[in-house]
A and B are shown apart, each in its own frame.
Chain A
Amino acid sequence: MGLIQWATSPWGREVPIHIAFGLVWVAIVCGALFLIAHAIYVAYWAKSPEAASGATVGASRQLVAGIPERVPRHSFGARLFHGVMALAMLALLFTAFLPKMGVRFAWVTWHWIAGIVLTVSVIYHLFHATFWLDFWSIWPDREDMEDASRRVRRALGMAAPAPRKFAKYPLENKLYHLAILCAGLAVIGTGLLMMNRVQTPFFTRNPYIFGFSDMTWGWTYVLHGFAGVVLVALIIAHIYFAVRPEKLFITHSMIYGWMDREKYLEHYDPHRWRVGEAASESGSPGGSKSRVPV
């Protein structure tokens, strides 16, 4: 099976037209293998978080005392965005790939509507995260890299200092966000271009728009398809982590907006993710802004 489907254009050129749709099965199998491997790893080899993470370094009693019982994690706006984006993403993937698996229904209209919803929600998220949340909290920083290095060295039996507890988002979470960001922007960008080739209330169908050649359109479709199958694997992994027992408190916080103080102190470093009074005093470096409602 090739990765890309090719065709001969009216001008006699070999041009790409789609990805090979068998790749969706590859993505599903890869996602399933990852979760099986991870589940086995966690069950038999992984050390407990206490063993893997160092104690909170220098967390003063005053700092800890200022932490509320319910630690705010996701604002209502952030949770609303996550829910809308998740629904749109699932709708996009089901409408894109179920027809390829033999489930026949009129999918195009649902697909582009879900695409518009996703686009609008992502634009909202960009503004919301930039101006109302702590923009940098989701991006990997130097401390994340140091801790990752420490974890790897300790896992290999080498001497290394204990890694710190996490900031608001663990490195894995940040890398996942980065992957979703890349794949999501790819499907949105290419999808908006492709909407010019179907009839919608927004555009008059015009495949000659922008002067794209058959080759350019072909690569646009291929990129859209590749990003789509990558999202299949990423979302399988995301749903898997959301339902893992030790991660349920994070899932809970995405639904209700807060997590228990105990969970916070167990998993997070109050210096790296400042909440409560500490966040107000410090201007909340690396953590939630105080305006996040509890």
Chain B
Amino acid sequence: MAVIHDVMPAFELFQPPTIDDALRLLGQYRADAWAMAGGLDTFDWLKDRIKRPKVVVDLSQINELRGIREQNGGVEIGATTTLTEVVRHPLIREKFSILSTGAEAAASPQIRNQGTIGGNVSQDTRCWYYRAGWPCYRAGGNTCFADTPTAINREHAILGADRCVAVNPSDSAPCLIALDAKFVIRTPKGERVVNAEDYFIGPGIDITRMNILQPGDLLTAIRIPADWAGAQFYFEKVRDRNVWDFPLMNVASAMFVTSGKIDRIRIAVNAAAAHPLRLAAVEDAVRGKEPNAATGEMAGKLAIQGARPLRFNAYKIPLMRNLVKRAIGGVEKPAWA
């Protein structure tokens, strides 16, 4: 059960200066170690005494993990680059504006100054049953408290649930999927580069994790290829409080339109499932069609196929349908505007 304390619990703190040093520590302590970037998700867990790592590896001293570099027409973003740096970087604003829009939608300015892109994509779910320390599936237990006849589950999943119905709360994740980003992971066996959508996993694969990182692994960078530079982007986030909140749902799309027809498109939604969903079926269905309201309508209906509402989140189905519709067909301006 969560107990809020004002002070941090005891743990051994390491502040390695290089990636190799960090990997050595993470490899040495494995499941007992906690890799900390901006600390915004970390401190909640530690102060609530729900996660109790023996060792915290603070990544903030590793210069190699910071910064945004141009790379073959695309960019490479160090994992501990802050969201503010991502939002303000001219290259990203010019070529991959959807990422700066998505990153700017995350949290508050203060949090974006401290929070990192690596932390934003790797953060844990906000399911309050889980974060309260209840022994649910995600915490290693044998039930989901959020998927019961009496549960409060307004923010939970409508798709991809497998025992656990928590959702991924990242705003930058769907943008990176839309941009076909690659995640660079250093493991004890070497470097691994995975597609953005493959970085995230659902509860069916591993119910206690939201991404493929295993103990000893470290996300070091995110590479965005030039392929989608300058595409027609769309990002929209729906939340309860527009100043500062996690998404009820968000959508990100990148599209190239040639001769009035959709030539290439990538689209992803988040907070609909335990991992950001790339809507490949929607992409296939709209390719070659005009990006108008009718295509958007069709895409929206296709996107929600298989959705299963819980007690309090049925609203997410029309929400997702409309977000996808707008991402494809655009938003009609009201007559009075």
- A residues neighboring B (CB under 8 Å): 5, 7-10, 12, 15, 17-18, 99, 104-109, 197-199, 205-208, 214, 217-218, 221
Contacting residue for B141 out of A7, A12, A105, A198, CB 8 A: A7
Q: How many B residues are at the interface, by size bracket?
A: 20 to 34
* Given A104-B205, A104-B206, A199-B161, residue A207 in contact with residue B144 (CB < 8 A): yes
Residue of A nearest to B137 (CB): A197
Q: Does B140 contact A (CB under 8 A)?
A: yes
Pairs of residues from A and B, 6 with the lowest C-beta to C-beta distance, nearest first: A7-B135, A106-B204, A221-B142, A207-B143, A17-B141, A104-B205
Q: Determine whether the beta carbon of B205 is less than 8 Å from that of A106.
A: yes
- Is B145 interfacial (CB-CB < 8 Å)? yes
**A residues less than 8 Å from B206 (CB atoms):** 99, 104
B1:A17 contact, CB within 8 angstroms: no
Distance in angstroms between the alpha carbons of A129 and B150 in the assembled complex: 45
B residues near A5, Cβ cutoff 8 Å: 140
- Which B residues, 129 to 149, have Cβ-Cβ distances below 8 Å to chain A? 133-135, 139-145, 147-149
Q: Could you tell me if B141 and A197 are in contact, using CB atoms closer than 8 angstroms?
A: no
Query: 1/0 per residue B167-197: CB within 8 Å of A?
Result: 0000000000000000000000000000000
Residue of A nearest to B163 (CB): A198
A17 touches B205 (CB 8 A): no
Q: Which of B140, B145, B204 contacts A17 (CB 8 A)?
A: B140
> Of A7, A198, A208, which is in contact with the most chain B CB atoms at under 10 Å from its CB?
A7
Contact check, A205 vs B135: say whether CB atoms are below 8 A apart.
no
Is B162's CB within 8 Å of the partner chain A?
yes
Asked if A205 and B145 sit within 8 Å, CB to CB, the answer is no
Determine the chain A residues whose CB is within 8 A of the CB of B140 once the complex forms: 5, 7, 17-18
The answer to whether A208 touches B148 (Cβ under 8 A) is: yes
Tell me which residues across on chain B come within 8 A of A205, comparing CB atoms: 147-148
Contact: B1 with A12, CB < 8 Å?
A: yes
B79 part of interface (Cβ distance < 8 Å) = no
Q: Which residues of A contact B163 (CB under 8 A)?
A: 108, 197-199
Interface residues of B (CB under 8 A from A): 1, 133-135, 139-145, 147-150, 161-163, 201-202, 204-206, 308
- B-chain residues with CB within 8 Å of residue A217 when the two chains form the complex: 142-143
Question: Are A108 and B134 in contact, CB atoms less than 8 angstroms apart?
Answer: no
CB of B142 within 8 A of CB of A106, answer no
- Identify 14 new A-B residue pairs, CB closer than 8 A, beyond the known A7-B135, A198-B162, A205-B148: A7-B141, A8-B1, A9-B135, A10-B134, A17-B142, A18-B142, A104-B206, A106-B162, A109-B204, A197-B163, A199-B161, A206-B149, A207-B148, A217-B142
Contacts of A109 in B (CB 8 A): 204
Give the docked Cα–Cα distance between A5 and B139 (Å): 12
Residues from chain B with Cβ under 8 Å of A107 in the complex: 204
Q: Are A10 and B1 in contact (CB under 8 A)?
A: yes
**CB neighbours of B133 from chain A (8 A):** 8
The interface residues of chain B lying within 8 Å CB-to-CB of A8 are: 1, 133, 135
Query: How far apart sit A197 and B140, CA to CA, in the bound complex (Å)?
Result: 15
| Residue in chain B with minimal CB distance to A198 | B163
Q: A99 vs B162: C-alpha distance in the bound complex, in angstroms? A: 15
Q: Which residues of B contact A218 (CB under 8 A)?
A: 142
CB-CB under 8 A from B141, the residues of chain A are 7, 17
Q: A185: shortest Cβ distance to chain B, in Å?
A: 21
Q: Which residues of A contact B139 (CB under 8 A)?
A: 7
Q: How far, in Å, is A57 (CB) from chain B's closest CB?
A: 56
Q: How far is the CB of A22 from chain B (nearest CB, A)?
A: 13
Q: Hey, which chain B residues are within 8 Å of A197, CB to CB?
A: 142-144, 163
Residues of B within 8 A of A106 (CB): 162, 202, 204-205
Partner of B148, one of A17, A18, A206: A206
Pick 5 A–B contacts, CB within 8 A, sort by A: A10-B1, A10-B134, A12-B1, A104-B205, A199-B161
> In the complex, A275→B161 CA distance in Å?
56
**B145 touching A10 by the CB < 8 A rule?**
yes
Q: How far is the CB of B171 from chain A (nearest CB, A)?
A: 26
| A9: chain B residues within 8 A (beta carbon) | 134-135
A226 CB, min distance to chain B CBs, angstroms: 14
Interface centre among A12, A18, A104 (most CB of B within 10 A): A104
What is the minimal beta-carbon distance from B127 to any residue of chain A, in angstroms? 14
- Residue of A with least CB distance to B148: A207
Complex interface: chain A residues within 8 A of B150 (CB): 208
Expressed in whole angstroms, the Cα–Cα distance for A191 and B1 within the complex equals 28
Q: Which residues of the other chain, A, contact B134 by a CB distance below 8 angstroms? A: 9-10
Q: How far is the CA of A105 from the CA of B203 in the complex (A)?
A: 10
Q: Which residue of chain B lies nearest to A222 when distances are taken between CB atoms in the complex? A: B142
Chain A residue contacts of B308, Cβ below 8 A: 199
Q: Across the two chains, which residue of chain B brings its CB closest to A16?
A: B142
Inter-chain CA distance A109–B205, complex, in Å, is 11
**Given A10-B1, A207-B148: A108 in contact with B142 (beta carbons within 8 A):** no
Which of A12, A15, A108, A214 touches B204 (beta carbons < 8 Å)? A108
A204 and chain B: residue at smallest CB distance: B149
Q: In the complex, which residue of chain B has the Cβ closest to the Cβ of A11?
A: B1
CB-nearest residue of chain A to B134: A10
| A191, B11: Cα distance in complex, Å | 40
Which residue of chain B lies nearest to A221 when distances are taken between CB atoms in the complex?
B142
- Which chain A residues border B202 with CB–CB below 8 Å? 106
> CB distance A104 to B149 under 8 Å?
no
Closest to A220 in B: B142
Do residues B135 and A17 form an inter-chain contact, with CB atoms below 8 A?
yes
Rounded to whole Å, the gap between the CB of A135 and the closest CB of chain B is 37
- B204: chain A residues at CB < 8 Å are 106-109
* B162 surroundings in chain A (CB, below 8 A): 106, 108, 198-199
Residues of A close to B205: CB separation below 8 A = 104-106
Scoring B142, B144, B148, B162 by chain A CB atoms within 10 A of each residue's CB, the highest score goes to B142
